[in-house]
């Protein structure tokens, strides 16, 4: 029997940081220092523990996490990334996403900062730097022969992975030797120069997130060397992934994702002054890819598989072994960061339902799309919603027609089930109503006011039109970006206070999600241990898969599994910390 809404799902959202110093003459504050102040403020609101992760971050008592995301920290960049806990239903997930937005927005209001900080929940800035949202869905990686090819490939690639680890370790050792030699040189020269501080900055660079000093040129060199060292393994791993990973899901889900911006796009004023449906969609340049490693922005992001070997294995060698499981994380990178609850709910809920249908074999006709990336760009540019982007049953189909095709297929699929959750009916009705409103717009050119405050691209378009025909690019771009500002002056927030926006999640649910994890998931156990033991004397850290007490060989590791169960293992035999609570 087909399972509905029974897989783990989650959202990762990158927030741009804006800061206005109280004193304009004060030195520029780094993004990482702002992140530190926000985390300090966050810890006054919720219980946290340090993350056992390759990125700087913390896990919260509600099961979620907050990271500092920086590809080039020495250059002064960086974002705050929030990750929801693992959830089971769309409503749970949107409640935790809204709780995350609120917690981080409130944490920005802190006296630790000599100025005003706030976050922008969007996908690109005025200079076209792209970041934003990722969606995660537990899914079947492969079955039968393809699953065995995947597993055999992992075994055959292990020697290359081992060489990669040795190369990375050599890079780290060389960096340490570099700093040691420079430190000795600095000791010798500092009394001979007139400005020792300038000499130190030249040799060591500015503070990194990890607290180490490194010049920008060295950071760039290390990135180039790391790519060269890992290239042989990365190429082989890429070929294995393209051959085996999520093949059926990718083929059947792709037309849905390419046309999804019509219901879940956030809207964009591009550099040429054109208005597009999606903030992130126009920047997508591949169907499948590792993301930042190759410099691509894919629809299906498999970078987490590579990171498990490239980075996370250093914290837990078991990360390699987990890749052999048939259930893995499907990460989708084409979605926008939504402000409207309806759009965010539809983005997650419809994708989840379509994925359930695909894995159950319920999608009988798959739209044909020869050039999916080009089709995505065309769909984002088409405000008429009427231009064909693919074929359904041999006939040209617009994005709206493709979405209607998937909606009707989901209705047929759910109708054949005896025990579909009530939330599925609600989702289908909401999906239908939005498609009806968009089809009315496509036919008449008139926007139904019910869509304003429900769909982001429609709401943002409405606000931009209120600025008048004479508004220049700067004015329209200001509306574009400030619409996503998480502050009392943010344009969406102003609409919300005016009662214009549609609400699906009540305040009590958001408040509860700020404190408690969703039940029956790994986050349930993680959150429990954080609430019970984070203030204890023993060092505690957490990851997506474990809670760890102590460090080194004496560490006790509690693996996290779905359903709120727990197992304990340790170097000196199994033992679990006593607790007065229950799971």
- pLDDT tens across 532-549, in order? 999 888 899 999 999 999
User: Does 153 fall in a domain?
Assistant: yes
Judge whether 555 lies within some domain.
yes
Structure tokens at 189: 């020269």
Q: Which domain holds residue 234?
A: 146-239
Contact indicator for 53, 67 with CB cutoff of 8 Å: yes
Q: What's the pLDDT tens digit per position in 49-71? A: 999 887 889 999 999 999 998 76
Contact in structure between 32 and 70 (CB atoms under 8 Å): yes
pLDDT of residue 563: 47
Residues 6+ apart with CB under 8 A from 542: 49, 50, 51, 52, 59, 526, 529, 530, 548
Token readout for 418 is 């005896």
Which of 190, 212, 239 is a domain's end point? Answer: 239
β-pairing, 540-542 vs 48-51, is parallel
Rounded (10°) angle between helices 216-244 and 144-189:
170
Sole residue written with tokens 């030699």: 181
- State residue 220's pLDDT score: 72
**Taking the CA atoms of the chain, what radius of gyration do you get in angstroms?**
25
Structure-derived torsion over alpha carbons of residues 262, 264, 265, 266, reported in degrees to the nearest 10: 140
Of 239, 264, 297, the residue that ends a domain is: 239
Q: What is the pLDDT of residue 144?
A: 95
- Domain boundary at 239, 257, 278, which? 239
Asked if the structure places residue 387 within a domain, the reply is no
pLDDT of residue 571: 38
For residue range 507-531, what is the model confidence (pLDDT) as tens digits?
999 999 999 999 999 999 999 999 9
Res 567: pLDDT: 42
Work out the pLDDT band at 578, boundaries 50, 70, 90. very low
pTM of the model: 0.90
Residue 344 lies in a domain: no
- In sequence order, the 6+-apart residues with CB closer than 8 A to the CB of 556 are 548, 549, 550, 568, 569, 570, 575, 576, 577
Q: Is residue 431 part of a domain?
A: no
Domain count, the chain: 2
User: Nearest 5 degrees, angle CA 180-CA 181-CA 186?
Assistant: 95
Q: Has residue 15 been placed in a domain?
A: no
In-domain check, residue 63 = no
Q: Confirm whether 221 is domain-assigned.
A: yes
């Amino acid at each position: 029997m087909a399972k509905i809404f029974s897989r783990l799902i989650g959202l990762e959202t990158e927030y741009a940081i804006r800061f206005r110093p109280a004193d304009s003459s004060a030195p520029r504050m780094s993004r990482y220092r702002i992140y530190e102040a926000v985390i300090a403020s966050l810890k006054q609101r919720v219980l946290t523990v340090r993350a056992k992760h390759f990125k700087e971050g913390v896990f919260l008592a509600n099961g979620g996490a907050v990271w500092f995301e920086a590809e080039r920290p020495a250059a002064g960049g960086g974002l705050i990334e929030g990750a929801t806990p693992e959830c089971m239903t769309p409503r749970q997930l949107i409640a935790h996403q809204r709780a995350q937005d609120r917690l981080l927005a409130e944490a920005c209001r802190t006296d630790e900062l000599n100025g005003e900080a706030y976050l922008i929940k969007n996908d690109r800035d005025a200079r076209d730097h792209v970041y934003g949202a990722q969606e995660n869905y537990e899914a079947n990686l492969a079955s039968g022969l393809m699953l065995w090819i995947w597993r055999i490939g992992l075994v055959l690639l292990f020697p290359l992975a081992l060489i990669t680890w040795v190369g990375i370790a050599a890079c780290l050792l060389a960096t340490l030797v570099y700093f040691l030699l420079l430190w000795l040189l600095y000791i010798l020269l500092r009394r001979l120069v007139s400005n020792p501080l300038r000499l130190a900055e030249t040799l060591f660079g500015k503070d990194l997130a990890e607290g180490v000093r490194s010049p920008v040129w060295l950071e760039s060199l290390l990135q180039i060397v790391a790519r060269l060292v890992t290239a042989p393994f990365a190429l082989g791993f890429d070929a294995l992934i393209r051959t085996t990973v999520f093949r059926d899901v990718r083929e059947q889900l792709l037309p849905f994702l390419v046309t999804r911006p019509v219901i879940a796009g956030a809207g964009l004023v591009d550099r040429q002054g054109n208005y597009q449906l999606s903030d992130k969609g126009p920047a997508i340049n591949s169907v499948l890819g590792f993301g930042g490693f190759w410099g691509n922005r894919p629809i299906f992001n498999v970078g987490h598989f590579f990171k498990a070997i490239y980075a996370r294995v250093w914290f837990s060698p078991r990360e390699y072994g987990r890749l052999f499981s048939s259930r893995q994380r499907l990460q989708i990178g084409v979605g926008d960061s939504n402000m409207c609850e309806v759009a965010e709910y539809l983005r997650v809920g419809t994708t989840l339902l379509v994925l359930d249908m695909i894995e159950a074999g319920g999608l009988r006709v798959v739209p044909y799309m020869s050039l999916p990336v080009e089709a995505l760009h065309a769909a984002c540019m088409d405000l008429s919603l009427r231009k064909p982007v693919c074929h359904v049953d041999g006939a040209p189909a617009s994005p709206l027609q493709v979405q209607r095709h998937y909606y009707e297929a989901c209705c047929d699929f759910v109708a054949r089930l005896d025990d579909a959750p009530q939330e599925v009916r609600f989702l289908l009705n909401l999906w239908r109503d939005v498609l009806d409103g968009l089809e009315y717009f496509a036919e008449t050119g008139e926007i139904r006011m019910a869509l304003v405050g429900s769909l982001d691209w429609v709401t943002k378009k409405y606000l931009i039109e209120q600025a008048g025909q004479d508004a220049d690019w700067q004015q329209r771009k200001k509306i574009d970006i400030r619409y996503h500002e998480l502050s009392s002056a943010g344009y969406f927030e102003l609409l919300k206070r005016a009662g214009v926006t549609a609400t699906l999640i009540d305040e009590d649910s958001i408040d509860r999600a700020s404190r408690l994890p969703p039940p029956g998931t790994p986050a349930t156990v993680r959150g429990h241990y954080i609430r019970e033991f984070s203030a204890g004397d023993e060092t505690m850290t957490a990851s997506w898969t474990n809670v760890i007490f102590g460090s080194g060989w004496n560490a006790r590791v509690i693996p996290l599994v779905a359903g709120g169960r727990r197992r304990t293992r340790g170097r000196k035999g199994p033992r679990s910390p006593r607790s007065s609570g229950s799971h």
